[in-house]
A and B are shown apart, each in its own frame.
Chain A
Amino acid sequence: ETGVTQSPTHLIKTRGQQVTLRCSSQSGHNTVSWYQQALGQGPQFIFQYYREEENGRGNFPPRFSGLQFPNYSSELNVNALELDDSALYLCASSPGLRGQYNEQFFGPGTRLTVL
């Protein structure tokens, strides 16, 4: 176990709805990254937060947004859900200045299904 927790474990939504996924980082880690993993694919970087500020973003539309709180936990929000948003969403935390070049500790993921 990495100490990174995510909730919920599974979620089913319908097209057009909005969803919020949550992540608690490992103690002492100030950087959180979010990844989307479609079935049979590798994880794709969504964005990273360092001390409550966005610190890099992947190729995802603005309806994917995030937040990091003072305790370094984080949320991923997705608006106007599409069928292709169905995936495993992974949160990873890391220590150090901006989490650069460090190993990342992953949570178990949230499985989102969009119908």
Chain B
Amino acid sequence: SQQGEEDPQALSIQEGENATMNCSYKTSINNLQWYRQNSGRGLVHLILIRSNEREKHSGRLRVTLDTSKKSSSLLITASRAADTASYFCAPTPYNQGGKLIFGQGTELSVKP
């Protein structure tokens, strides 16, 4: 499968702690995207990292990409209760017309 596989499947932390989610994939990619989903609603794009980038920041988010290991990680610093959601990585393969291939996601619970 070309899909991203997130690890862990579920993560529970206290407010203020950092949350780290990992993603592995199997094919060459053009970029890798992270999305967030609240309670079965639509997905919200968080960050896109291109295959020639190694690290990217956006606010409290930090994403790394290691194409040699075909893996990525998403770090949320100083988490808040409002960060409670499911997080999905979507590696975008070459020659696939930009379709996103999602794994099962990581369900993050941030307790106040």
Contacts and interface: CB of A to CB of B under 8 A. Distances in A.
Contacts of A4: 42
A108 B98 contact: no
Interface residues of A, number: 35
Contacts, number: 74
Interface residues of B, number: 24
Contact of A43 (B33, B44, B48, B102): B102
20 contacts: A41-B104, A42-B88, A44-B102, A45-B99, A45-B101, A48-B98, A55-B97, A56-B96, A56-B99, A98-B97, A99-B98, A101-B92, A101-B98, A103-B33, A103-B48, A104-B100, A106-B42, A106-B43, A106-B44, A109-B40
Interface of B: 3, 30-31, 33, 35, 40-45, 48, 88, 92, 96-105
